[in-house]
DNA sequence: CAAAACAATGCAACTTAGTCGCAAAGGAAA
DNA sequence: TTTCCTTTGCGACTAAGTTGCATTGTTTTG
């Protein structure tokens, strides 16, 4: 178990179990947000989806992860970091993390999702 | 039937039926995006949800309307206009149309959804 | 240590927004 | 009227995520 992951659990006051560790290890390595099926495929430990979603809910409540819905009616998860946006391409279905100018936005923004056709697919 | 709505159907090459008219009349009057239940409550004509969603799909394919998912796992619909963003408040659950600086965004953006706590609820 | 208390998990049944197949109804040609 | 195509209603279905409950695992306490 990496120290960094251990620190995450401590920081968010979550007890570490095998299941929780398996989920976070996948999210730690991920280059882009992942959904349940994708995380399940990469986990080194089988667990029931109820366990998965209950732990995900706990992570989210503590602020350790962040989730959003794509247009496939699935939730995508990633470890929390600075607020940034996600661009979901309706052609290649890739999800990219992007930065956005939020200077003029009022309120406390927690998630931003843009949908459309990405630069590569548009060309 | 208002001339403006008739023009919409002509523009998007969609035949007008009673069901289609009833849906668009509600969207025309709406001040913010609405979901199926909300539209159903305001329609002056009962129709099966299959009919509703099939017509919605047709509207969307033609570019006449625009849809996005909120965090309640429901789709919200509005008549197409200039590309703008929607802010969904996790406290009051209101959906507001807002403008965003998209100068630096690459790709062809079709929808932008921000989630968080709105100015009023944050205060 | 043993008993009790609490937390995490697996399983199966459930919920629900949206979908699909199909037959009936409507409307436009012919 | 007959034919052909479109639209609609109905009911069964799909699938991501939820929930209740019994079981297992981990602390706490006597
Ligand atoms: Mn990201
Ligand atoms: Mn809007
Ligand atoms: Zn793309
Ligand atoms: Zn609010």
d(CA B122, CA B87): 13
pLDDT of B52: 98
Taking only the tens place, the pLDDT of each residue in A34-83 is 999 999 999 999 999 999 999 999 999 999 999 998 888 999 999 999 88
The average pLDDT across B55-72 equals: 94
- Identify which has the larger pLDDT, B91 or A53: A53
Q: Is B100:B109 a contact under the CB 8 Å cutoff?
A: no
Interface touch B113/A112, C-beta < 8 Å: yes
Distance, CA A73 to ligand 4 centroid (Å)? 24
Give residue A3's pLDDT: 82
Angstroms from A91 CA to nearest CA on chain B: 11
pTM of this structure? 0.90
Across A6-26, average pLDDT: 96
Q: Which of A103, A113, A122 sits opposite B113 (nearest CB)?
A: A113
> Dihedral, CA atoms, A109, A110, A115, A120, nearest 10 degrees?
100
Structural domains in chain A, CATH included, are: 3-122 (1.10.10.10)
What is the model's pLDDT at position B1? 56
Contacts of B99 in chain A (CB under 8 A): 104
Which nucleotide's C1' is closest to A73 (Cα)?
D16
């Amino acid at each position: 178990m990496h120290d960094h992951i251990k620190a995450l659990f401590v920081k968010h006051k979550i007890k570490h179990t095998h299941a929780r560790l398996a989920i976070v290890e996948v999210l730690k390595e991920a280059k882009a947000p992942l959904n349940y099926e994708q995380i399940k495929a990469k986990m080194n430990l089988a667990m029931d989806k109820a366990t998965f979603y209950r732990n995900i809910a706990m992570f989210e409540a503590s602020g350790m992860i962040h989730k959003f819905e794509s247009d496939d009616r699935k939730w995508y998860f990633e470890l929390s970091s600075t607020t940034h946006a996600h661009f979901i391409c309706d052609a290649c279905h890739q999800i990219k993390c992007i930065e956005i100018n939020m200077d003029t936005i009022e309120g406390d923004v927690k998630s931003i999702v843009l949908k459309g056709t990405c630069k590569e697919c548009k060309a």
